[in-house]
Amino acid sequence: MPRRIVELTDDRTIAYAETGSGPDLVAIHGTLMCLEDLWLGPVPALAEHFRVVAVDRPGHGFSVRPRGRAADVWDQAARIREAVRRLGLHKPVILGHSFGGAVALAYGMLHPEEIAGIVAVAPICFPEPRLE
């Protein structure tokens, strides 16, 4: 699973890996994880039906987020959207696990017309005191 890098604005990047064919699906990992965790989980099964693009969230894995820059769900959703657009993905399904589920929901709230749907797997989506 070779990672590739999408250069974004503001000295940021999104690292990603892709597999499969079919409609586009973007997979977003949870807290203290990286895209390999999804690769070891649902990605192989999803790749039988979708072109899966698994991403490292900003500041995780090999995605660069300069220290001191925004890292909330809204900013992460905006950066992943920027990568989706640069990769030329068309109306992807956005799948997020754990904290990635909150990012997926933020993406859908900001740009519902640009996606085919959201799948939130065990999402963190209600305010509660947590390390994240």
Domain ranges, ordered by start, for the chain = 4-121
Q: At the fourth CATH level, which superfamily is domain 4-121?
A: Alpha/Beta hydrolase fold, catalytic domain (3.40.50.1820)
How far is 61 from 14, CA to CA, in rounded Å? 9
Average pLDDT rounded to a whole number, residues 62-72: 81
Residue 35 confidence class, pLDDT cut points 50, 70, 90: confident
As given in the structure block, the two tokens for residue 63 are: 């995605």
Q: Average per-residue pLDDT in the chain? A: 91
Give percent of the chain with pLDDT exceeding 90.
69
Whether 106 contacts 73, CB under 8 Å? yes
Average pLDDT rounded to a whole number, residues 108-125: 94
pTM, 2 dp: 0.91
How far is 46 from 34, CA to CA, in rounded Å? 17
Task: Estimate the crossing angle of helix 99-110 against helix 73-87, to 10 degrees.
Answer: 70
Helices marked H in 3-132 = 35-39, 43-46, 73-87, 99-110
Q: What does the pLDDT read at residue 131?
A: 61
How far is 60 from 117, CA to CA, in rounded Å? 24
Instruction: Summarize pLDDT for 68-91 with one digit per residue, the tens.
Output: 777 789 999 999 999 999 999 999
Q: What does the pLDDT read at residue 12?
A: 93
